[in-house]
Structure 1
């Protein structure tokens, strides 16, 4: 199962990207971009680092580098892998 920091970082990564795009498409306030850009970048790096720490699977690690939704894809893959191993049908 993914750790709570990975789960939080994955959600922050997606939400911050959506807010950055919404800001860009509407009012394009520079202070909003100045705040959300580093938040998104930090969440992206936390997702990548936590994924490398928690998973040995190469495909899962590569998913961490998909911008915006990579964290959620990692969570989905890690949860599916955990469910398979618990049910005894591991790969």
Structure 2
């Protein structure tokens, strides 16, 4: 889940930077599906790991939601 959350964040940054600068369709076509898959993976894994509504809600925030959910899961786990 940690890798998927990182890929989600980095791919969103790349997409936004591309949109704000040169707006190359090839970059969007290559990175867009990667971002979408990482986003869905983070949401699915979060929903599978916890029933906490707050953590689940954090996971659906694009970009940083996965990292926020990971932090919440780490503080909720005993040990």
Q: TM-score, normalised by structure 1?
A: 0.82
Query: Which structure 1 residue ranges, 4+ long, deviate > 3 Å from structure 2?
Result: none
Number of matched pairs: 79
Q: How does 1:1-80 map to 2 (within 5 A)?
A: 6-80=1-75
Q: CA RMSD in A?
A: 0.8
Give the gaps of 5 or more residues in structure 2.
none
Report the alpha carbon displacement of residue 34 of structure 1 after superposing the two structures with TM. 0.5
In 1, Cα distance between the equivalents of 2:47 and 2:9?
19
